[in-house]
Structure 1
Amino acid sequence: MGVSRSSTLVLAYLMIVEGLRLQEAVAAVRPHRDICPNPGFLQQLRSLDRGLERERRRRRKAQTLCHSALEEETPPLLELRQILWTNRKPVAPVNQVWPNLYIGDESVARDKTLLSSLGVTHILNAAAGRHRINTGQQFYSDLEVEYYGVEAADHPEFDLRPFFNSSALFINNALEQNGKVLVHCAMGLSRSGALVLAYLMFCHGLSLVDAIIAVRLNRDIGPNSGFLEQLRQLELSLRPQSREMTEEDD
């Protein structure tokens, strides 16, 4: 009917991409169409609004701080966990979380019929290895699929950082070729979620909070505490570059 689900996504787009508050987004849409997100969607939009406003306040504050205060600008783990675990929804086997970029679980990675129907051209296995999800390029030999495996353990002590850059490049190259990418692990929550967040930070300049919010519009993810801390450190390392790019744009 074009009043609830579709309007919720349009409002979220205006809030994230255009920087509007929820009330401003509603005011922008209503002169052209009456909308009515259901109570659950409305609550999710309010949570998104609060999260985005916190990030905007943090950015405004960051503009007044010197480079030595970078650590204070990055949300602590507790706040990141709250963003990830508030108002969670049931997780489907696969969801599109960014244009032509999917996060899924093991069942999707092994379902060649589903992969073909989705038009997947590239697969990033974040749980590769003989004792984990041992698919590999040979498993997909009957499909026109390019495969990249990351042998990661879903454990806070595992260092996923060496794979952030290579995974982001794999995803970015695939999307630039008009491909469709599936990033998966066992459950499609922790390892795959962390690598997709790293991609959004590397290739789209999103902050960690913005990346989490963007993905959670379509799928709930849950990187473990170790991966979250590694993503925080990634943000710290990328922020000087982002600041320089922003200054050049200005």
Structure 2
Amino acid sequence: MGNLISASGAASWVYGLQDVDRAIDQTLKEHEKHERAKLDASLRVAKREHVEGAKPGHEPVPVLSWLYLGDRYTIRDQEALRNARIAYVLQVSNVETPEEVKAELKAADIRQYLRLPAEDVETDNIIMEFDKACDFIDLGKKAWDSGDEYHRVLVYCDEGVSRSPTMVLAYLLHQGWTLKGAVHYLKRLRPAIAPNKGFFEQLLEREHDLFGRNTLSASDYNKLFLE
């Protein structure tokens, strides 16, 4: 008889299951809403890139002898790419570059193109792409070391503010720079850079992994990028 459930206990158990079902249903709806928003944003970016062209003032920004930084307008300027001796293009985005833009890159004598997926949100694990980005940028360094005239790598994202600067900072760490030195250097070259807070914390993680210490802390973020 000890295993019998009272009527009130059974009712509570059923209501408990209903609460779980409602919570699961609500979570699924929120997930679907988030995925639809991401898709809509991707479609808007893709549509915009189909009609946009180059714009003055968006030329590739030199960072190192073999490394340049840019945005979505930079890659539409074939003359600027040729003048900068860009041979490799690294896109940091969840949105695939339109085929006509790839054709323009080919016409600008780009040898290799790579897109690494990243969404400009604090929860994106962009650190997972750091090694791939560094390997790709090193193609430019090897070409530069060999005396190849067309050796430079352009790293770009939509605005050239968060994702692509994060990859460039990760590469400077890869080259032995401290994060503090790299951030101040890159901000002098392109004052608008502002990796989102989650990306900055992942750069701190990478610096600690490489050198066993940090030259900045998470509390430095506002002073560096928001003030």
- For the criterion TM > 0.5, the same-fold answer is yes
Query: How far is 1:173 from its partner?
Result: 2.0
Q: Distance in 2 between matches of 1:134 and 1:216?
A: 30
State the percentage of identical aligned residues: 29
Residues 94 and 119 of structure 2 are in contact (CA less than 8 Å); yes or no, is this contact kept in structure 1? no
**Alignment partner for residue 186 of structure 1, among 158, 177, 186?**
158
Q: Superposed, which structure 2 residues align to 1:1-250 within 5 Å?
A: 92-93=57-58, 94-130=60-96, 133-134=97-98, 140-145=105-110, 146-178=112-144, 179-202=151-174, 204-220=175-191, 221-240=193-212
3-state secondary structure, aligned to 1:211: helix
Q: Cα deviation per residue 1:62-81 (whole Å; 9 max; x = unaligned)?
A: xxxxxxxxxxxxxxxxxxxx
Question: In the alignment, is the contact (CA less than 8 A) between 1:207 and 1:235 conserved in 2?
Answer: yes
Q: CA deviation at 1:97?
A: 1.9
The superposition leaves residues 159-211 of structure 1 with CA deviations (integer Å, 9 ceiling, x where unpaired) of 10111011011112212212111111011110000000000101x21111111
Q: Deviations for 1:96-142, whole angstroms, at most 9, x for unmatched residues?
A: 12223111110011222221122111111112524xx4457555232
Q: Is the CA contact 1:128–1:150 (under 8 Å) kept in the aligned structure 2?
A: yes
TM-score by length of 2: 0.60
The one-letter code sitting in structure 2 at the alignment partner of 1:219 is R
Equivalent AA in structure 2 for residue 226 of structure 1? G
Contact 2:61 2:70 in 1 (8 A): yes
Question: Do the aligned partners of residues 110 and 143 (structure 1) sit closer, same or farther apart at CA in structure 2, a change above 3 Å counting?
Answer: same
Structure 1 stretches of 4+ with a deviation exceeding 6 A read: none
1:134/1:163 CA distance change after superposition, 3 Å: farther
Q: In structure 1, what is the equivalent of residue 220 of structure 2?
A: none
**Structure 1: stretches of 5+ with no match in the other structure:** 1-91, 242-250
SS of the aligned residue for 1:148 comes to strand
Cα gap change, 1:134 to 1:151, in 2 (>3 Å): farther
Please tell me the residue identity of whatever aligns with 2:124.
F
**In structure 2, the residue corresponding to 1:106 is in which secondary structure?**
coil
Partner amino acid for 2:176?
G
CA contact (8 A) 1:126 1:192 kept: yes
> Residue type matched to 1:118 in 2?
A
